[in-house]
Amino acid sequence: MQLFLDTADVSVLRDLAATGLVDGVTTNPTLIAKSGRPMFEVIAEICDIVEGPVSAEVAATESKAMLAEGRKLAAIATNVVVKVPLTREGLIATREFAIEGIQTNVTLCFSAPQALLAAKAGASYISPFVGRLDDYGAVGMELIAEIRAIYDNYDFDTEILAASIRNGAHVTGAAIAGADCATIPPDVFAALFKHPLTEKGLDQFLADWAKTGQSIL
């Protein structure tokens, strides 16, 4: 499963991308606003840091305006993926983007029928919001499994990008359910490296090694 960072903080992205484990980036209007920087500047810089897909979201709600904004965003770099909302207008735009060869990430997906429509429209990625469904009283991970089954039934090329990830358990669940990718907040990504038993074991190994008085170099 590919791991994307959900951030527009370039300094944080540079640090985590240095691990070689970041496959892409997703942004949204809220993250861009938090950066306090011009959107086009931020997206261009992110695309220079990460070779994989970088989602940049349109602000328009009407399909013609989405198309105009999306074409402008796609022109920033070859790895830009235009992010559109899962609405009737958004899927009309998605269909046209597919015809034009522009990759899309259809966001704010909360049901399997929505995901089916996005795939039929030619979406490159579908973003089911796992955490928000959990907040709503549903089981977000069940949606990932439903979409996986539907896409496999009909050989859709649309990739499942698990979003609204809140913790490591969500990452594990998305991988088990068959998501192609997951987009993760930086703090959750950093936490994936850690386990108290790993740290305890390492401390013991280092203490025992020190007693030998040896050096590898």
**CATH code, 2-212:** 3.20.20.70
d(C-alpha 141, C-alpha 12), whole Å: 28
Q: Where are the domains of the chain?
A: 2-212
Would you call 18 helix, strand, or coil by DSSP? coil
Token readout for 10 is 């370039």
| Secondary structure letter of residue 194 according to DSSP | -
Helices (H), 18-87: 29-35, 39-49, 63-74
Going by C-alpha positions, the residue among 117, 121, 131 that lies closest to residue 93 is 121
The b-or-e profile of 154-187 (16+ CB within 10 A means b, else e) is eebebbbbbbbbbeeebbebbeebbbbbbbbbbe
Going residue by residue through the chain, which has 217 residues, state the pLDDT in tens, using 9 for 90 and above: 999 999 999 999 999 999 999 999 999 999 999 999 999 999 999 999 999 999 999 999 999 999 999 999 999 999 999 999 999 999 999 999 999 999 999 999 999 999 999 999 999 999 999 999 999 999 999 999 999 999 999 999 999 999 999 999 999 999 999 999 999 999 999 999 999 999 999 999 999 999 999 999 9
pTM: 0.96
To the query of whether residue 120 is one of the catalytic residues in this protein, the response is: no
Annotated active-site residue in 72, 83, 120, 194: 83
CA distances from 130 to 25, 72, 75, 79, 186 (A): 18, 30, 31, 25, 17
